[in-house]
Every structure is written in C-alpha cells, then in structure tokens.
Amino acid sequence: MRYCPRCARALESREQGGRARSSCPDADCGFVFYDNPLPVVAALVEHEGHVLLVRNHGWPEKWFGLVSGFLERGETPAEGALRELKEEVGLAGEVVRLLGVYGFSERNEVIIAFHVRASGTIQLGEEIAELRKVLPERLRPWPFGTGQAVADWLATRG
Ligand SMILES: [Zn+2]
C-alpha cells in the first residue's frame, strides 16, 4: 500500500509500536497501515480413502497443497473451508475437526485448517490446474503453509 486510503497522501515509513509502519503524514488523518495477516481457510480432504492435494494455476509444477482460500465476510472458518471444497474440487463435505491454526509469514497469512470428509464426484474448479489423490500412508508433509496441518493430522492419526 503506497497511498493513504482515507486522504490519498503518499504513505511514509514511521516507527509505531516498535516497528516501522507505513503511515499517513497528515496528523489529522492518522492512518497507519498495519499490514495484518489475512485469514486463509484450508481443508485436508479425505475422499474415498485418499487425501486430495491441489495445484493452483500459476503454481510451480511440483507444488501441491490442501484445498484452501481466503475467508470471506459473513462466513465462519468451517463454512469457508466447505465453500472452498465445493469451488476447487466440486465436492460436498463435512468438517471432522479443526486441525490447527498456523502462521504463514512469507505470505502474510494465518491458515485455519480443518479435517474434512468429502463425498461425490470430483469436478475441478477454474482455479485448479491439477489434482493429486494420495493414500494417507504415502502423504509427506511440507514444512510451510498448509503442510503444517498435514503433519499434525498424520501425527494424531497414529
Ligand atoms: Zn491519510
């Protein structure tokens, strides 16, 4: 963000609460851009004995993650995860439980991840380039983003 969303002046870097933050130079306006992380909802989807991993368009060829997307206004995190499930792979599902809440500072996000059981016929949404069905025993967590939820799910699965 480069300009103040209230008064359109160019933002300047100023110390605020021990950190440099983009701030409006107009003292009467006082806008500070805190750049808080955005909440992302994610679903570890079990479907017919497999866990579903997806690759979004624009991601590198070998990058797969959980079904995920930004939480939208007016929905609970669980509702958001089920909406993303429908949008990305065309399935209906039910939340089994919350897996955890994870920081993803590289992308300035907070990931709220659920274990979801899904049923029906898979139909990939527009955002999805590729789907992978992985047997749980062959699932290997990756050390960032939604991979942390995969690690926690595997650990509690025993
Ligand atoms: Zn301003």
Spacing, Cα 35 to ligand 1 middle (Å): 16
What is the predicted pLDDT for the residue at 1? 86
Spacing, Cα 16 to ligand 1 middle (Å): 15
* 139 and 102 fall within a common domain: yes
Instruction: Dump pLDDT digits (tens) for 23-69.
Output: 999 999 999 999 999 999 999 999 999 999 999 999 999 899 999 99
* 53 and 113 fall within a common domain: yes
Q: Does residue 158 surpass a pLDDT of 70?
A: no
The count of domains in the chain is 2
Residue numbers of the domain that contains 60: 38-157
Looking at this protein, which amino acid is placed at residue 136?
A: P
pTM score, whole prediction: 0.89
Helices and strands (H and E) in the chain: how many? 2, 9
User: How many angstroms separate the CA atoms of 88 and 96, rounded?
Assistant: 19
Spacing, Cα 110 to ligand 1 middle (Å): 27
Spacing, Cα 8 to ligand 1 middle (Å): 6
DSSP per position, 62-124 = T--B-EEEE--TT--HHHHHHHHHHHHH--EEEEEEEEEEEEEGGGTEEEEEEEEEEES----
Spacing, Cα 11 to ligand 1 middle (Å): 8
